[in-house]
A and B are shown apart, each in its own frame.
Chain A
Amino acid sequence: MSKRTKALSAAGVVGAVALAAGAVALAQAPQPAALKSASALAFAPNGVLLVGDSLGGQVVAIETGDTARAPAAKADIADVSTKIAAMLGVPAAQVSISDIAVNPANGNVYIAVSRGTGAEAVPVIVRTDKAGALAVVDVAKLKASTVAISDKPTAPNQAAQAITDLVFVNNQVLVAGLSNEEFNSSMRTIAYPFRGQASSAGIEMYHGAHGRFETASPVRTFMTYTMNNQPVILAAYTCTPIVKIPLADVKPGARIKATTIAELGNRNRPIDMISYEKGGQRHILLANSSRGVMKLDANNLERHTPISTPIADKAGIPYDTIADLKDVTQLDKLDASNAVIVVAAAGQPAQLKTIALP
């Protein structure tokens, strides 16, 4: 690392100077990254950070250059929101964390931050390093490619998109979102590297509690999973069906019949989910607004019969609630044995913690 890089790092900014190596080749000519917001994060290979930008109506693939492989170090930063506020020069109440993503190459945790809470708010990406220090990722100095997620509505308008989650799988980016006007639950699939406009795949979902097709429930969080050696999407909805969709069915413009494989009960909203193996058993961990964190038995998920009749409360996949994990607002997998969480009780600073996978 050069002296200049050291100086920049000491000031808490990770710039492009040190990170030019290892950039992935993108089909679209890379431009400096221009974000209007940072709503959801996910990693693609080669250190490319995908940012769901709700206000910009776009997904931005940023070449972080953070490609050095290393074992993950535990990330534990007390009052992380207060510390980020100090770096960004705002009162602590002006910082909010909208998502985290762990770089699978080295366990560095990337944090999507809003600096400011009103219309003047600017997005900032902050990351941790091995020593547990925080640094601002200077995205304007990094190369990026961009794809719009929808046609921009014409003025006068107050319409806006909200990207609720995104994942990278098999050279495609899957984006879940909704609008503040039309109630179109949409999941979109975008081929990566980005070559043109996004295309969208509408998903029709059978909700076990209602006994009929629903066409308009917003997906809260989703992930990819392997069932019967086939990749599937597992998606969680408000109050709280888990559905599976064969990845092969997710094609631009497709109308998909999702299969409900679990009902986890009412009055809660799923936040994030990850899958892992421990002691030869497969599990899914689902962070949730009102039930702490749920640990689902994910062995042989394919054996659960699809739910197609009204369900009073719960059915399908058995789960335990990890009672001591409360107020978890973000969750991502750190490595094979650990997860990173953000814990934020109402009115309290957010905490970044590493927990052993239960």
Chain B
Amino acid sequence: MRRFIVVLAALLLAACRPESEPLSYDGKTVTARGVDAQDPSKGWGDILTVRASDDPAAPPLAGEYKRRGDTLTFTPAYPPSPQVTLTITYQAPGGEFHRLMVPGKAAPATAATTVTQTYPTTDRWPANQLKFYIQFSGPMTKGQAYRHIQLLDETGAVLEQPFVEFDQELWDPGVTRLTVLFDPGRIKRGLGDTDPPLVPGKTVTLRIDPAWQDAHGKPLAAAYERKITVVPDVRLPVDPAAWKITAPRDRNAPLFIDFPRPLDYALARRTITVPGVEGEVTLLANETRWALTPLKPWKAGRHEIHIDGIIEDLAGNRLYRPFDLENASATVAKAPPKSATLTFEVKG
């Protein structure tokens, strides 16, 4: 009963307050009352100002003013962050000066974010490895990536600028997976003046600094480290003729495809499809095995497997086309096919 009265009183107070106060803020709109009927010569911002900064030289919060009768409202163009302190001042011409402070709150407590996986999952990367993916358990803050990813050699020394750095950073739309490219200028043959970061026979350590902030501004739960053994370059095109297809053993069983070497995690998942068949695609055995489990039982008979030409292996070699070619003129003269088709049979 007592709680009910308290809630009722709070509701009444909330309902009445904007009517009685000359200056109020309901979390969305600032309302000032007793405004002179005349529009001020310098604009409404001159008499009602909302600031989201301690710096008096900083501009006020952007937003829109509306006046109806003696009531002036200000709606921010973007809802202010709860972490920001708002200072609202109001003085109608010849009227009293009012100030309202809306203190910022600490960010809500959230579970720490972790690195859940890095791809490729194999610990043997070719010296011309083109890229890798870092998958986090939750969304991260953009703009900090390259400060927090390091590659260390066997002595623990940090390798200098092994990655292509983009200000935009290559995130997925949800900001939970980052793509990191090795500098293609340093993984090509014939480059004499810089050492490639990955040398066959050596071991490197991929290290992710826990100071990297997640979307809530909190550091990662822990540092992440992975040892990688570097193996020789792979300079062969992706050739589906070398893939081994295992047709579904019954009409509910998965279709398997085994590759002779790992393929790019992200691309292998979405560039191999069975037209007309929906199902769950998984990558197994360090991205050397692709599996499709159908949502509905397979139809008996012949099916096609479609492979999009953008598929890549770990070194960026594509369908029928290596990442770079010795014979350059051949590349220009003849464009490789943009897709491939394989077939398999489901027994009735």
Contacts and interface: CB of A to CB of B under 8 A. Distances in A.
Nearest to B168: A162
Interface in B213-228: 214-215, 217
Interface residues of B, number: 84
A130 interface: no
A121 B270 CA distance: 27
A117 interface: yes
Interface stretch (B8-16, B62-70, B149-157): B62-70
Best-buried of B77, B130, B161 by chain A (most CB within 10 Å) = B77
Q: Looking at chain A, what size class is its interface with the partner chain?
A: 35 or more
Contact of B331 (A118, A213, A329): A213
Interface string A26-41: 0000000000000100
B251 to A, nearest CB: 24
A182 B52 CA distance: 42
Contacts of B131: 183
A213 B62 CA distance: 50
B137 interface: no
A138 B76 CA distance: 12
A184 B318 CA distance: 10
A157 B79 CA distance: 30
A238 interface: yes
Contacts of B65: 7-8, 10-11
B83 interface: yes
B298 interface: no
B20 interface: no
Interface in A286-341: 289, 310, 312-313, 329
A4 B99 CA distance: 25
Contacts of A124: 78
Interface in B78-111: 78-81, 83-84, 86
Contacts of A267: 160-161, 194
A236 interface: no
Given A114-B142, A181-B266, A269 B62 contact: no
Interface in A1-56: 3, 6-13, 39, 54-55
Nearest to B104: A91
Contacts of A82: 53, 55, 58
A150 to B, nearest CB: 11
Given A83-B58, A158-B174, A216-B316, 18 more contacts: A12-B59, A39-B168, A87-B58, A87-B62, A90-B78, A98-B168, A114-B142, A118-B139, A119-B174, A158-B177, A181-B270, A210-B191, A213-B325, A213-B328, A213-B332, A214-B188, A266-B186, A329-B167
20 contacts: A82-B53, A83-B58, A86-B58, A90-B84, A114-B142, A118-B215, A121-B142, A159-B266, A164-B168, A183-B181, A184-B310, A209-B190, A212-B328, A213-B325, A214-B184, A238-B183, A238-B184, A266-B193, A310-B192, A346-B147
